[in-house]
Amino acid sequence: MQRRMTKLINVKSTENLNIVIPFIKQQPEPITLTKRLEDATDASSPLYPLLDLNRQDQKAILKNNFNMNFYMHRIKKNRSVPSVPQTVLSQKRHKFHQSLQYILKEVLTNKTQRGGTRIKKGVTAKFIDACFSIVCTSDNPDEIRLYNYEKGVWETSELPLQRFIYELCYTLGASWSKNLETALIDQIKRRIKVYDAKEFNQIALTLENGAFNYSTFQIEPTSPLHLSTVKSYIKYDPYAQAPVFHKSLHEWFDDKDDIAFVQEWFGYVLSNTFKANAFLLVYSQGGEGKSTLFGLLEQLVGVANTTAIPLSNFNRDFGLEPLLNKKLNLATESSNTEFSTDKLKGITAGEKITINRKNLKEIETHVPVKLTFLMNELPVIKDKSHGLQRRIIILPMTKPIPKSFQNKSLSQQLHQELPGILNWAICGLKRLKQNDFNFTISKKMTNIKQKYFNKTSPMAEFIKNCLEPNFDNTNLSGNELMTAFKTWSEINNRNIIHLLSPIAFWREFNLEMQNLELNYTKTKSSGNTVVKGIKFKSDSSDDGDAKIIK
């Protein structure tokens, strides 16, 4: 709403005004006198219908829930309600908002024996509740949510209430105290509506110029009833195009099925559902455009609605707390560390999980976040269960872009096309929904996943087929051993993407040597890694693998 005034009653702080106003209900509750009162006050004329009544009848009309909402509506509209003496109601041609302020003081306060002003907690809490839209969730009832009418979303904050109470005390001539503020907010918490956390963000996605309804796929005005906590600052334009983006997709991918999957994944992340029950690993070795591509997804969702916890956080006590109140987790992984899968499975299925919070009580809640990890090495995985295999999607981006073809201004150009990219993502969501939330999976995606979930450890196979004990205490070059492992894996079609770095190779090598009860030592010679106690199998071996690596 356009701001047309600079003062809120006897406002003490303009900063408080700016904090509070977006959260004030924009319209009064409809009752019989709405039209009559609006016509009178909009004309800035004396309210003759009220003047015709005696004082008691005036008070009877004004002292109700409508008064509370309408009073704040007038503040929001005019931004000023001047102070008036108590005799104003007996005067002719007084303005309606003056009566409102006088009645407000009379309703919310009483006089102390010493002539001071004391706020009535019960009725004042009811008044504040009527001025704002306030709810909480059953899993965390002490944390209130206020609806921001300017943004069109529910926000977790007590700050607007605190500032409003401070200004209300100042206006009413009453003393503010922390105890009073706490008492009022506590009473408000005991009267507001309680929702289940999973009820939020199920109806619509708030955009810059409206709300995208998940059921109708149409844009409509924002509303508190949408229970939206997420806002994307992209403006919806049904006619927007994205020619540079579509050209870039064909530079990043050769397979149209890969492009179709990315379109569906973008739509899925924006959606309100977890029916696909999946999380995404994007694999490349760098320079293939994955950061640019998925940076667009972050912009569509909104940077404020995105976090970036790595897979290793699933192993930590407080590692999942950053996921609360987010819609997307987009993390760039530089490590292939093994990760815990139990809570990851719960998140992808949209189930409740327990989250430990630092210095706060742990909560059991739904975490409506879609998980995407950008990786240079695929992580070590011990969980080979069908449940995890069904959830993991691996998207290889292995088409390097030559430097001569790289566009240094590409990110800026793509940013300008975000409304068109939003339309593209919505089309992907439509197709995914039509296909019962089964993604389009390319052959390349299928192959890399099959290799990733090899039933036998490729390192264990390599050791058993290609190495044997060496008792003459000679050295075997570490680099030669790693090269032999890579050659063997290529010839035998084994997936070792997660074992390409020296750290990952030696970690896995040591683990499998222990599992096979084989002894060896690793040391340095002239600055190079060497091992003792093992050697390649001889050429005379019947095992073809040994001959291949020699």
The string of pLDDT tens digits covering residues 169-195 is: 888 889 999 999 999 999 999 999 999
DSSP code, position 6: S
What pTM value is reported for the model? Answer: 0.72
Query: In which residue ranges of the chain is pLDDT below 70?
Result: 1-11, 26-103, 334-336, 404-405, 454-456, 539-550
Does residue 309 contact residue 320 with C-beta atoms inside 8 Å?
yes
* 8 Å CB contact between 366 and 198: yes
CB-based burial of residue 63 (10 Å sphere; 0-12 exposed, 13-18 middle, 19+ buried)?
middle
CA separation (Å) from 196 to 138, 140, 141, 206, 352? 5, 9, 10, 20, 11
d(CA 206, CA 507): 47
User: What is the DSSP secondary structure assignment for residue 7, as one 8-state letter?
Assistant: -
CATH number corresponding to 455-549: 1.10.10
Measured CA to CA, the distance from residue 235 to residue 2 in angstroms comes to 19
CA 269 to chain CA mean position, Å: 10
- Of 219, 322, 228, 327, nearest to 270 by C-alpha is 327
pLDDT of residue 288: 83
Do residues 262 and 292 make contact, with C-beta atoms less than 8 angstroms apart? no
CB 337 within 8 A of CB 312: yes
Residue type at 368 in one-letter notation: P
d(CA 406, CA 393): 28
Contact between 549 and 488 (Cβ < 8 Å): yes
**Phi, psi of 368, rounded to the nearest 5 degrees:** -80, 60
pLDDT digits (tens, 9 = 90+) for 217-247: 999 999 999 999 999 999 999 999 999 999 9
Q: DSSP character for 365?
A: E
Indicate the average pLDDT of the chain: 82
Q: What residues pair up with 331 in beta bridges, in sequence order?
A: 373
> Domain spans of the chain?
14-195, 243-451, 455-549
Structure tokens at 69: 């909402």
Cβ(164)–Cβ(128) below 8 Å? yes
The predicted pLDDT at position 91 comes to 45
Q: CB 7: neighbour CB atoms within 10 A?
A: 14
Nearest to 397 by CA among 254, 500, 498: 254
List strands edge to edge, sheet with 328-333: 306-307, 328-333, 370-375, 279-283, 392-396
How big is the CA angle at 391 (ends 389 and 394), to the nearest 5 degrees?
Answer: 80
The gap from C-alpha 387 to its chain's centroid, in whole angstroms, comes to: 25
User: What does the DSSP 8-state code read for residue 402?
Assistant: P
User: How many helices (DSSP H) and strands (DSSP E) are in the chain?
Assistant: 21, 21
Classify 31 as helix, strand or coil: coil
Quote the tokens at residue 385: 């269960």
Q: Indicate the SS3 state at residue 533.
A: coil
pLDDT of residue 59: 56
Which CATH number is correct for 243-451, 3.30.420, 3.30.980, 3.90.1570, 3.40.50? 3.40.50
In DSSP terms, 354 is beta-bridged to 364
The distance of Cα 189 from the centroid of its chain, to the nearest Å, equals 25
Would you state the pLDDT for residue 440? 96
Strands 528-532 and 475-477: antiparallel
